[in-house]
Structure 1
Amino acid sequence: MHTVDFVTYPCRPGTLLWVRPGQVQRFTTPGRMNGTHLLFTPAFPETSAARGLADDWSAPNCWQLGTDADYATTSALLARLHSEYNRPGGPSREILSLLLAALLLHIDRFPRPRTHPDRHAGGEVYARFDAELERSYATTRRAEDYADRLGYTVKTLTRACQAATGQSVKHAIDARVALQAQRLLAHSDEPVAVIARRLGFSEPTNFGKFFTRRTGTTPGDFRAAQQTATASASTSAASSGEGS
């Protein structure tokens, strides 16, 4: 079992996990994760085709590769990366970059669960909105502000968001703010009032009402539950002799 951004996924042969920058993760049960691990840092040169896929906050984190073709292609791309990385005389960074782009673009073809936005369905309008949301979610939650910055009408943004997510622009904005709030509450020691200010709330009480409306629990209760879960996982791992 593996938890990414507060969603727990069962992992078995054929499971593909993609954890992106800024996401938080937790190994929820003791055990060894046997599989290929691919790590690339922000400093690694990406092609323009793949740029943005790694930062898509709303993209899925887990797929179960159910067909032989999906599994075979993914495995072959990973094996080719591994072979180039360990090439005698040293790898070519350009080839590694192109192979990484091919892998990411291949993964991006996989069908998305209904709970995740399909940025392709929203076209360029949704893609631009999604990028602007990642830059500005902590400074404004008004759909009108995003429309002005992007040169669209709110109606145009609404159509794109409906096509991609089935939800309104406001829902998409609030979902991103709520996710960041959960990350900060679970994995920082900052007071709730400080987190509220970081996310653009002038008063902690307004942040508390927003968070409770979005998640069904108060910021304090959410943080306490996450701390309990983390302590429980650490205790289980220590008693079983597993490292973290």
Structure 2
Amino acid sequence: MSTEKIPQIAFNPKKNKVLGVEIISIENLMSRNQKTDHSPEKAHVLKFNMIVLFTGGESEQLVDFVWHKVSKNTVIYLTRGQVNAFKFNKNLKGYLILFTNKYLEKQLNALPQTTTIRLLTSHLFSPKIEIPKDLFIKKYFHLFYKEFYKANETHIDTSTIHHLFVILFNKLERLKTNQLPQIKNTERFSIFLKFKELLESEYAKNRNADYYAKELHITYKHLNIICKEVVHATAKQFIDDFIILQAKRALINSTDRSSNIAYAMGFEEPTNFIKYFKKRTGYTPNAFKKIHS
């Protein structure tokens, strides 16, 4: 088993490094496969956001340890911090748009309000979208690609790039809205976001749903109602799913022994962590780490 931790892939465009956005073809990415320190077919953590459009072939793409089947007119969306990997084959074709959080922030005024909600809660949504043939998404990706790599031109028309990005993002967001939870009470959603933020900072100290309810100055029952409305799960289930995802990321992103990770995640005994992890994944921490090494 490899002891190397999962690579953190930074945004490092081949062209216009200050722009904050880049588009490459899947064919180009496959050609880089043998020329880079890390294979895109091995699990890695993205330090940027990415939209992938598949225009040909059939394969799978890994997003946070789940393999998703992809084919023509499939879009995969990943946000910074998510785990990604590809499965390449000779018939696979498409485009990847890579962009930083800073770049996205500059475009937010021209994007739907749902964008902010989804970026804050990517776990609420499937990363996969099937594009209707009549939506012409491929055409806009192709225009973006042609504009970005205009021949014999040293200066990119950034205004055109920005407008094409906004058009693409808006079209994809309209499709994504079908996945938005139908939340009637915006105050409840606001409480849920506070719960998620608190969980992100406190999960190593406490895994008890009642603790978070008290910190939010609401009852355990009220927190459960909110979680069921937003994520269709109890508060406890949401906490467990969140912790398991953090554990998976830690296991493949560290050379530490699983016992050290157990302590770092707030488990008093490594055996408790092993039981907790295996109950919810079917694997021991070491077995899971071996699979993704």
Return the TM-score normalized by structure 1. 0.73
How far, CA to CA, are the matches of 1:173 and 1:220 in structure 2? 22
1:197 and 1:203 in contact (8 A); partners too: yes
The match for 1:15 among 66, 74, 82 is 74
2:63 and 2:84 in contact (8 A); partners too: yes
SS at match of 1:22: coil
Q: Which has the higher strand share?
A: 2
Structure 2: where are the runs of 5+ without partners? 1-59
SS at match of 1:181: helix
Task: Please show how residues 158-169 of structure 1 align to structure 2 within 5 Å.
Answer: 158-169=224-235
The match for 2:215 among 127, 149, 173 is 149
Q: State the Cα distance separating 1:177 from its structure 2 match.
A: 0.4
Mapped pair 1:123 → 2:206: no
Structure 1: where are the runs of 5+ without partners? 113-117, 228-244
Pair 172,119 (structure 1): closer, same or farther in 2 beyond 3 Å: farther
2:73 and 2:133 in contact (8 A); partners too: no
Q: How many residue pairs align between the two structures? A: 219
Task: Please show how residues 153-192 of structure 1 align to structure 2 within 5 Å.
Answer: 153-192=219-258
The match for 2:130 among 64, 89, 94 is 64
Mapped pair 1:212 → 2:278: yes
SS at match of 1:53: helix
SS at match of 1:16: strand
Task: Please show how residues 104-115 of structure 1 align to structure 2 within 5 Å.
Answer: 105-111=173-179
Letter of the aligned partner of 2:178 in structure 1? F
Render the CA deviation track for 1:162-200: whole Å, top value 9, x for unaligned: 122332101100101001111222343221122213322
SS at match of 2:255: coil
SS at match of 1:106: helix
The equivalent of 1:53 in structure 2 is 118
How far, CA to CA, are the matches of 1:52 and 1:139 in structure 2? 26
Pair 204,32 (structure 1): closer, same or farther in 2 beyond 3 Å: farther
1:45 and 1:97 in contact (8 A); partners too: no
The equivalent of 2:157 in structure 1 is 90
The equivalent of 1:238 in structure 2 is none
Measured on the aligned residues, the alpha-carbon RMSD in Å equals 3.2
SS at match of 2:288: helix
**Percent of paired sites with the same residue:** 27
How far, CA to CA, are the matches of 2:143 and 2:222 in structure 1? 42
